Structure 1
Amino acid sequence: MDFAGAQEKAKAFTKKPTDEIFLEFYGLYKQATVGDCNIEKPGLLDLKAKAKFEAWNKNKGMSADDAKAAYIKAYEKYAPIYA
């Protein structure tokens, strides 16, 4: 499976993943497609934006190829639960 295929299949999960799992996918996706986090840290009151920022920033320094591979592994791990 490739990165694009994993993205499409993850978007098509029939059950909604937990916020923690969503953030894992989000952080890996952003690292794979943009690189290291390049936005300012959101304010303390914007909890959703802060969580997304932290999920992305957690992967800082990871190469795009490694992030894509990790995304695919995450998909394969969670697909039996959420697909």
Structure 2
Amino acid sequence: MSQTPAFEAAVAASKTLSEKPGNDVLLQLYSLYKQATEGDASGDGPANPFDFVAKAKHDAWAGLKGKTTAAAEQEYIELVAKLKG
């Protein structure tokens, strides 16, 4: 999938934030990025039930099922802009 220049700029900007966002925001950024670049999550998530980080990431991404890649891109761009303040 081809991303817009605005999305690519937001991805670059997300790596240079002056302050590291909290875990909830990081999960939101991750899930929106995955939805924008890969579409709906597939499968049941990580095989290791004790890999809590991977499970949280998969669950956050799976929660966006049905959201279009364009909508996920736009939400990602807006979230990064908000974080940059």
User: Does TM-score exceed 0.5, indicating one fold?
Assistant: yes
Seq. identity, %: 36
What does residue 2 of structure 1 align with? 6
1:31 Cα deviation after fit: 0.2
Tell me how far apart the structure 2 counterparts of residues 39 and 71 of structure 1 sit (CA, whole Å).
Answer: 23
Provide TM-score, normalisation by structure 2. Answer: 0.86
Tell me the C-alpha RMSD between the 2 structures.
1.4
> 1:38 maps to what in 2?
42
Where structure 2 has 5 or more consecutive residues not aligned to the other structure, the ranges are none
Who is 1:64 aligned against?
69
1:47 aligns with 2:45: no
Which residue, 5, 20, 44 being the options, matches 1:16? 20
Count of equivalent residues: 80
| Structure 1 unpaired stretches of 5+ | none
